[in-house]
Structure 1
Amino acid sequence: MLVPEGGCARGIGTYANGYRDVGANWLGTEVCDRLRLDPAPDAGGIVGAGGTVGDGPPDVANGWRGGGISAQAVAVEPDGALLTADDTGLARYRDGKREQLARSELSTEGFEGQGTRSMVRGLAVTGSGVIVLDAGLSTAARTAPALLLSTDRGRTLRRVDLPIDPDRTILPDGTREVVGVIAAAGDTIVAIGTQLRRATVWRSADGGDTWAVSSIDGLPGNTQMMRLVRAGAHWIALAGVASEGAGRQDTTFVLTSDDARHWAPGDMRGLGEGRIWDATVDAAGDVVMVGVTYDYEHRDGDLPPDPCGVVWTGDGDGPWKRGGLGCGDSPPQAVTTLRDGRVLIAGNRDLWLRPA
């Protein structure tokens, strides 16, 4: 995840410490020409014949345990504070200080308290400060999902069961609908989930007090919702579509709506091949999204093909403009709009910065 902070951005993710992935942060410089791991690994680790060689099993006291802000989802509040959610609940970070908010057990059953299998998948904040958290909640008796809401700036969370879609498909294996993406604009909250070749849309226009449900049919197969944004006059839902067959490229599918109730396939001219990974809305109200294709033409024998970075820009009304970001083992993974209007794209090795 990449969020604006100061004159640049903070990256929130994981770091392979030699034994397992631990939470880690990357902080940007004022000119935003690099992100550095901070805090960096110290001299801790397992001491062997070759010196310190990384981390150890969970029951070993030494070894680098990661650092920085820990989160599975993050939202930037109007005053610049970072609201985060992980398997223990909500927290707020402002000026380097952490404020513990509502606590909740949001780990996958069987992994409670281990911080490794969080159910948290999405976080949004309305214009009036209502916090909306998607933690993958449901019950065996219901096929509709539930969200967690806070109306007191995160001090408490209450469960809200979303209405059941009357046109839903109940699969033989008992698979239940889940939310794929959530977003908020003003006091409107929108959540979308996909199942087979259709999507379910839940919408609240009053900050989560009441909800309406609708459905969208005719989606491509193997569709996964990746991002939902409000850009200009449109709600834009962006989905990745997995290819069917070896050597074929994944694609990106677009849905648009003016009122979050009536949805239709968006303009997909100019998208071409490539699957979206992340998206942001720039200062002009346009969507900037990044994704990948795969270089099957130049693959080395039986090795997997290199991923190639792709960037698209558009406003939801016309064709998308497409650009390439090169091929290699570290494609772009995240994008954000900085406070001064510049757009930053980050991979594990490279940054791309577009002027305001």
Structure 2
Amino acid sequence: MQFPAADNAGYVPPGEGLRLLVPQDNCVLGVGTYQNGYESVPVNWSGNADCTRLTLHPDPADSPRNEADVPSSMRHGAPGGGVPAQAVVDWDDGSQTFVSGIVQLRERDGRIRKLADLKLPWAVKQTDTSDRGQVNSAVRSGSRLLIGGGETVSSVTTPFLYVSEDRGASVHRVTLPGAPGGWSQTTAGPMAADGAQVIVVGSYSSNAFTSAPTGTLLVWHSADGGLHWTATTVNGLPTGTVMTGAFRAGGRWFAVGDISGAPTKPDVPVLLTSQDGVAWTKADTAAMGAGGVVAATVDAQGHPVLVGSLRVPGKNPQAMPTYCGVVWTGDGTPTGWQRGELGCHAQPPAAVTTLANGTVVIAGNKDLWLRH
């Protein structure tokens, strides 16, 4: 992986750098951000012929700005040049819809067309506590595009869902119901679709119900392609559990994520399963070992593949941590997981996808793993 920072070895904040891997021809398109010395800018990576290297394209280093006469507080550094996205949806004609605060269509030949603007609230600086919105996921149900996320307005966080019948050229908002009592203090996180059946998993668990001893997670289900929704609560999760993936395999729905053990315990995976998308069960993940799930895919045989990361603190408070990568392969049941190790590095694995030829691709900000 070509490193997403101007100094080629420096610090990339958590959540920045590579975010998504999107199948493209015989390799992938990487989507994420680049640290240009002043700010995070959008970038894309392209793969080589045998998919053993991902290179920034265009490379921000090829378009530096001469800002010597500009006050340092006003410098922006090199632009990224990539198409920004928190989610990407593939279409049968080879085009792809890239979704961030705006919706863009990437044609098969690489041309980009701007479509809809979601008009999300946004903060001027990342340190602002003002209103803001964030897309977290997108899926297609037939020809319908569904976009999920959340926004905070006047310190109140609510989920949102946008629906498009024309691949994102126009969107309209659908209301996601709250839990019993009206509570919906979460954002719409991972999504998955199987025909007209669609699930949306809350981004994180909250302790909004004062009677709940631990966290409560909202999960939504639609049986008509995302037009109408019902809400279900899953109780008994530690408050702050982060959900990172959702998929269907072996006739079940799966929702996966990370239970933080900070500061003294390691993170561990969280795994929820459902037959119908409405009633959910928390699986026992003790046998899976340590490491939170950061991304998930389903391989060519229909078996789930989970990618995880285990943070290992430095030897002293000033030392940078390392991250040990983990991969779990399943058989479509809640308990049939085999664990593999990806080694320990300065940058954790961040994304995974399955190519049309069956290759599973895992990547982080510096490393690339392939399973043929």
TM-score, length basis structure 2: 0.82
Deviation, structure 1 residue 176 = 2.2
Once residues 167 and 285 of structure 1 are traced to their aligned partners in structure 2, the CA distance between those partners, rounded to angstroms, is 38
Q: Deviation per CA, 1:208-251, whole angstroms, max 9, x where unpaired?
A: 2222222222223331111111123111000210115x331011
Q: Say if 1:287 and 1:58 are closer, same or farther in 2 by CA, change over 3 A.
A: farther
Deviation, structure 1 residue 47 = 5.9
Counterpart residue identity of residue 360, structure 2 = V
Counterpart residue identity of residue 311, structure 1 = V
Q: Does 1:68 align with 2:67?
A: no
Among 261, 286, 303, which residue is 1:243 paired with? 261
Once residues 271 and 328 of structure 2 are traced to their aligned partners in structure 1, the CA distance between those partners, rounded to angstroms, is 12
Q: Does 1:134 align with 2:134?
A: no
Q: Deviation per CA, 1:295-336, whole angstroms, max 9, x where unpaired?
A: 35xx43331431111111113413311111111202211111
Counterpart residue identity of residue 340, structure 1 = N
Q: Does 1:301 align with 2:321?
A: no
Does the 8 A contact of 1:180 with 1:224 survive in 2? no
Among 239, 253, 275, which residue is 1:258 paired with? 275
Corresponding residue of 1:185:
194
Does the 8 A contact of 2:149 with 2:159 survive in 1? no
Counterpart residue identity of residue 348, structure 1 = N
Q: Say if 1:270 and 1:95 are closer, same or farther in 2 by CA, change over 3 A.
A: farther
Q: Does 1:195 align with 2:195?
A: no
Counterpart residue identity of residue 259, structure 2 = V
Q: Say if 1:64 and 1:186 are closer, same or farther in 2 by CA, change over 3 A.
A: same
SS at match of 2:288: coil
SS at match of 1:249: coil
Corresponding residue of 1:114:
none
Once residues 97 and 57 of structure 1 are traced to their aligned partners in structure 2, the CA distance between those partners, rounded to angstroms, is 34
SS at match of 1:349: coil
Q: Say if 1:86 and 1:147 are closer, same or farther in 2 by CA, change over 3 A.
A: same
Once residues 163 and 211 of structure 1 are traced to their aligned partners in structure 2, the CA distance between those partners, rounded to angstroms, is 7
Corresponding residue of 2:40:
21
Deviation, structure 1 residue 146 = 2.8
Counterpart residue identity of residue 260, structure 2 = A
TM-score, length basis structure 1: 0.86
Match runs of 1:31-110 below 5 Å: 31-40=50-59, 41-46=61-66, 63-109=77-123
Q: Deviation per CA, 1:249-307, whole angstroms, max 9, x where unpaired?
A: 011110001110111123525311001111111111111111111335xx433314311
Does the 8 A contact of 1:87 with 1:120 survive in 2? yes
RMSD: 2.7
Identity fraction in percent: 38
Corresponding residue of 1:341:
358
Corresponding residue of 2:15:
none
Once residues 231 and 154 of structure 2 are traced to their aligned partners in structure 1, the CA distance between those partners, rounded to angstroms, is 20
Relative contact order, higher structure (CA 8 A, sep 6+) = 2
Corresponding residue of 2:29:
10
Counterpart residue identity of residue 9, structure 1 = V
SS at match of 1:279: strand
Deviates more, 1:137-146 or 1:88-97: 137-146
SS at match of 1:270: helix
Counterpart residue identity of residue 289, structure 1 = L
Does the 8 A contact of 2:150 with 2:158 survive in 1? no
Corresponding residue of 1:218:
236
Query: Which sections of structure 2, spanning at least 5 residues, go unmatched?
Result: 1-19, 126-131, 208-214
Deviation, structure 1 residue 17 = 1.2
Q: Does 1:151 align with 2:137?
A: no
Deviation, structure 1 residue 352 = 0.7
Counterpart residue identity of residue 27, structure 1 = S
Deviation, structure 1 residue 137 = 4.3
Does the 8 A contact of 2:149 with 2:187 survive in 1? no
Aligned residues: 335
Match runs of 1:154-173 below 5 Å: 154-167=168-181
Query: Which sections of structure 1, spanning at least 5 residues, go unmatched?
Result: 50-54, 112-116
Deviation, structure 1 residue 354 = 0.4
